[in-house]
Amino acid sequence: MARQTRKRQHGRKAVSTEDVAAWAHSRKFPEGARCRVNPEEVPRMSAVLIDFAQPFLQGDESVEIYRRVLTMAALAWNASFLPAAERNEARDEFANTVCRGSEPEDYAFALNLFEGMTRRRRDEFGEIRRMIVDVDVAEGAGGAPRVNVAASPIDVPDDERPSIEDTL
């Protein structure tokens, strides 16, 4: 889907470099951190995260539910880059957080959701080599969610990581 189409579809306007710098400054990134706007040919991580989470969204979520789904998607996205042992720890923490005080079948559902998300990242978004540092979801124009994502490039290729099947 073209960038312009995505912007129209989600009701977003183009964001200036100054807007991004102001947002990054407001998030209190570490001293010396550089904020860079993507070149035109590199997809914005906010659009990537929304596309990644799309199968897990109904389309009529409140901003708060949208924030929760995108946060879970970001956790699974980042965990997919981890070695098997660390990914297992992240999976268990994810399920414990999502299912605090829930039934055992909810815990199993959360584990499956996490596994599905990490597989989806590897299978359908494997060429995107960036870790998500921060996700901000706020109410935008007309009540629609407005999403800002900060990400950092990584340099460890997926083929050097254990496969997801190693963790099952």
> What pLDDT score does 59 carry?
81
Per-residue pLDDT, 53: 95
Residue 93 lies in a domain: yes
Number of domains in the chain: 1
Residue type (1 letter), 55: P
Q: Tell me, yes or no, whether 29 lies in a domain.
A: no
pLDDT of residue 14: 61
> Is 1 inside a domain boundary?
no
Residue 49 pLDDT: 96
Position 28 scores a pLDDT of 63
State how far the Cα of 17 lies from the Cα of 91, in Å rounded to an integer. 35
The pLDDT value recorded for residue 84 is: 87
Please check whether residue 73 lies inside any domain of the structure.
yes
Q: Is residue 99 one of the residues assigned to a domain?
A: yes
Closest CA to 149 of 52, 73, 43, 46: 46
Let me know if residue 11 belongs to a domain.
Answer: no
CA distance 70 to 117: 11
Q: Which domain holds residue 113?
A: 43-167
Query: What pTM was estimated for this model as a whole?
Result: 0.70
pLDDT for 130: 92
Quick one: pLDDT at residue 167?
Answer: 36
Residue 162 lies inside a defined structural domain of this protein: yes
| Structural domain includes residue 105 | yes
**Residue ranges of the chain whose pLDDT lies below 50:** 1-10, 161-168
Three-class SS of residue 19?
helix
**What residue has token string 């312009």?**
4
